[in-house]
Structure 1
Amino acid sequence: MGFITVKNLWKEYGQQVVLENLNLEVERGEFCTLVGASGCGKSTFLKMLLGQDQPSRGDLKLVGQPFPAEPDRNRGIVFQRYSVFPHLTVRQNVLMGLELEQKPFLGKLFGAQRRQALQQVDEMLEAVGLAHAGDKWPHELSGGMQQRLAIAQSFVMKPRVLLLDEPFGALDPGIRADMHELILNLWKETGTTIFMVTHDLNEGFYLGTRLLVFDKIRHDPQQPEAFGATITYDLPIGQTDRRLYDSIESSVSRTARALSA
């Protein structure tokens, strides 16, 4: 039994089919990158993994049990836009999740519990390179530093599954390279299972252990919503030659043109 199992999964909104017949098995600690044209259901799949959305048909299981219907502390997410609290300092941003988990009604920790939580926060800020910025406000940080903060917020909760929805898409190339190194280091240290959506095929091949290509293999110009995307390639990264890379790039580009027509 895999850590995460997807079997005959479909997602439909009324007459619109977004995903059709997804089948996938992911082991604990894998790093899966998801690529494909815009509109091929990659972010929808992340929402189902998070618990924000539910499959229309099929099975989505975590260690043999249905995924929890609501987001919980076992699943973290980082978006392209920096999801931080502007009214809290860097340190307070990272502390908030731990406080809400342990004291959901008060939202505050005291005494030994607070000292222990702050130690975790400071260790995480050190790991993401923000130890010097603990007392700063989010608006005082650069884009790359804000994204480091968002990553720290997720990793401090020690989620079993981390979902990344184009987390580096708004960053400059040099900063993106630094963020790639950061996320790979944290993944190796924690063993977290990661799913990351990216529109950059090179980034998809560079990061992680496995590349999943979402594509529409059926098209009807008269009924564009009749068919959904599925996983057309499921590749162990490091075992892919240039010809297959070119084939994937061509397929993604062709689907993007069809969707925009």
Structure 2
Amino acid sequence: MTLTGAGAAFKKLEITDVVKSYGSKCVLDDIDLHVSHGEFCTLVGPSGCGKSTLLRLILGQEQSDQGSILVEGQPVGFPDPYRGIVFQKYSLFPHLSVLDNVLLGKHLTHQRWWMPWRRQSDWKEEAMSLLERVRLAEAAEKYPHELSGGMQQRAAIAQALIMKHPILLMDEPFGALDPDTREDLQIFLLDIWEKEQLTIFFVTHDLEEACFLGSRLLVLSQYYTDDRGNGPSVNRGGKIVADHSLKNSAGSTVIKDQVEFRDLIESVRREGFSPEIRQHVDNFNLNHPDSFRTLNEY
């Protein structure tokens, strides 16, 4: 095995040589990723490349077949409050109001019966501020079944953000939202990320969203070549075929209309989304300073 790139420094998250299969199907193939504190990583790729699988491995919901995943230098283990997640489909408790759903994490991680009244009052004020920002303040006392799908997803986002998890995983959280609300929440999430110095992994199928939000854009794809040859007997899983360092802050959406921004989107599309355009592993666009790659002998 050979190692190229950085890879040696201590990082917030260290993924090295990770492989994950389901039965005979390889989904993730030698994934290498080191992430520093405070990065906003957006993850894109074609259907079936393993984006959600990678998030589940980082969360600890599943285990890899090979390789290592370290969080703050320790094996990833099972899910814990250090890592929060917003799923593609909202996850609210039907018997709790919107406000109580948002506050649930606070109550579960603290002993509520001895918590000072002032602390609980502060939590409620923070929860209402988040609900105001996601346009749900007037629905605070409603129950999930009284909300539309988009409203439920906004409540789930507020539920995760109030916990300020050091690592926040988001699996297409804005997919069910209308364009105006989606763009508003993009800016809101960037603002929260900068203020709280969160480390975020954000899976999306929307390339514009990925290029706008990320400080780092990861392209995961099964469309590449290596020295194993071709044909149905070659069981390739997704690899990180591009790793872009982006300049980003909670700024104006005007950037979306700039030529450089549109060119980046087209570049990402070519790098990972076309079965007809397959880069060799030696030519992956891994230009981020923390990029590295393990190459196993096949």
The two structures have a TM-score, normalised by structure 1, of 0.87
Choose from 215, 223, 232 the match for 1:222: 232
Which whole-Å deviations, capped at 9, do the CAs of 1:44-93 have from their partners, x for residues lacking one? 000011110111111111121111x2111111111222211122111111
Distance 1:18 1:37, change over 3 A: same
Which whole-Å deviations, capped at 9, do the CAs of 1:134-190 have from their partners, x for residues lacking one? 222223334443222111211222211100000111212112111111211211121
Query: 187-196 vs 232-241, which deviates more?
Result: 232-241
Aligned-residue Cα RMSD (Å) equals 2.5
Letter in 2 for 1:28: H
**Number of aligned residue pairs:** 251
Identity, % of aligned positions: 44
- 1:1-261 aligned at under 5 Å gives the runs 1-67=10-76, 69-103=77-111, 109-110=112-113, 112-113=115-116, 115-129=118-132, 130-216=136-222, 217-218=224-225, 220-223=230-233, 226-238=235-247, 243=263, 245-255=265-275
Q: Contact 2:211–2:264 (CA<8 Å) still a contact in 1?
A: no
Matched with 1:106 is none
Paired with 2:240 and 2:175, the residues of 1 have a C-alpha distance of 22
Letter in 2 for 1:120: W
Distance 1:200 1:111, change over 3 A: same
Paired with 1:211 and 1:223, the residues of 2 have a C-alpha distance of 31
Secondary structure of residue in 2 paired with 1:110: helix
Paired with 2:65 and 2:120, the residues of 1 have a C-alpha distance of 40
The two structures have a TM-score, normalised by structure 2, of 0.76
Letter in 1 for 2:54: F
Paired with 1:254 and 1:183, the residues of 2 have a C-alpha distance of 30
Query: 176-185 vs 213-222, which deviates more?
Result: 213-222
> How much does 1:110 deviate?
3.0
Q: Contact 2:215–2:246 (CA<8 Å) still a contact in 1?
A: yes
Q: Contact 1:215–1:252 (CA<8 Å) still a contact in 2?
A: yes
Letter in 2 for 1:171: L
Paired with 2:19 and 2:96, the residues of 1 have a C-alpha distance of 40
Q: Contact 1:32–1:194 (CA<8 Å) still a contact in 2?
A: yes
Ranges in structure 2 where 5+ consecutive residues have no aligned partner: 1-9, 249-259, 279-298
Secondary structure of residue in 1 paired with 2:43: strand
